[in-house]
Amino acid sequence: MKRGKGMKFVGDSRISAERKPNIPKDYSEYPGKTEAFWPDFLLKEWMVGAVFLIGFLCLTAAHPAPLERIADPTDTGYIPMPDWYFLFLYQLIKYQFASGPYNIIGVAVIPGLAFGALLLAPFLDRGPERRASKRPFATGFMLLGIAAVFYLTWESVVTHDWAAAEQQGKIVEGPEVEIDQEAEGYQVYAGQSCINCHGENLEGGPAAPPLVNLDLSPDEIKDIAHNGVGTMPADQYQGSDEDLDKLAEFITSLKPEE
Ligand code: HEC
């Protein structure tokens, strides 16, 4: 290649005056050592890419993403957990110096410094040396970064409450109770709003607990039906006192068979 002296330029100094036609070079001088970018190399790249793409497609079809139960905004005990490749960031914001009032440190400052340094590395480290042992700073910071990522990921895995996580992904199944849908009490239940939240078989729903095997007296249930409890709104029962008696008796009768 001609460079510097003897090279003629047009107005734009990057374009040589002697333009060469865009014909691939003759590579026969170096058999097996090199090849034309277009189409030989690109075709190979594309074929490898296609194999991976189809592989990923098959993998996602065979293993659909695991889903937990329907999101429940009233469940304040839910512990969200990021995917494994973000666990180190997740762990970082659990430390006192990086959480609460110092959240900005864990969320922006530390990751910003780390990834910013990675971004600026080609500009900061301009030495011609390529061997890792001759570049103590670049190598040192990189090893430090890798060690930190591994340590934080490991730490987040061992400190996570996996037993609780196992439970929160599931609908808690109540004890098996036979529901007699012909019973008078059930007719009252189904005729009221109760069924919308507590479910067709009183099994509970995403936002309401099951109504089987309760430790409540009929009077307490009648009170709840009128006045609500906790997050259950009041005035859910709209009917006669007689029917409410039947409903309360019915709910208290729902006990698992011994
Ligand atoms: C809007 C949804 C909704 C409707 C409608 C509703 N409930 Fe509830 N119910 C709840 C929620 C939510 C709770 C849990 C409240 C809490 O503990 O914070 C609850 C709790 C209860 C409890 C206490 C359960 C326990 O484990 O102690 C009883 C009994 C009950 N409901 C009966 C009824 C009856 C009877 C009706 C119909 C008249 C009814 N509910 C209608 C949402 C509802």
Single-letter amino acid code for the residue at 255: K
Task: Give the pLDDT confidence of 148-165 residue by residue, as tens digits.
Answer: 999 999 999 999 888 777
Please state the rounded mean pLDDT for residues 228-237: 90
pLDDT at 173: 52
From the CA of 161, how far away is ligand 1's center (Å)?
Answer: 30
Pocket of ligand 1, candidates 177, 186, 194: which has the most ligand atoms within 8 Å of its Cβ, to mutate? 194
CB-based pocket (< 6 A), ligand 1: 192-194, 196-198, 207-209, 211, 214, 216, 221, 224-225, 229-233, 236-237, 247
Place 3 in a pLDDT band, splitting at 50, 70 and 90. Answer: low
pLDDT at 168: 67
Q: Which atom of ligand 1 is nearest to the CA of 189?
A: 37
Place 64 in a pLDDT band, splitting at 50, 70 and 90. Answer: confident
What percent of the chain is modeled with pLDDT above 70? 85
Contact 218, 252 (CB under 8 A): yes
CATH number listed for the domain at residues 82-159: 1.10.287
Single-letter amino acid code for the residue at 220: E
pLDDT at 36: 77
The residue nearest atom 36 of ligand 1, judged by CA position, is: 194
pLDDT at 174 over 60: no
Assess whether the previous peptide bond of 128 is cis (omega < 30° from 0): no
d(CA 188, CA 244): 8
Place 175 in a pLDDT band, splitting at 50, 70 and 90. Answer: low
From the CA of 228, how far away is ligand 1's center (Å)?
Answer: 7
In the chain, where the domains are located = 31-65, 82-159, 184-252
The answer regarding whether domain 184-252 maps to CATH 1.10.760.10 reads yes
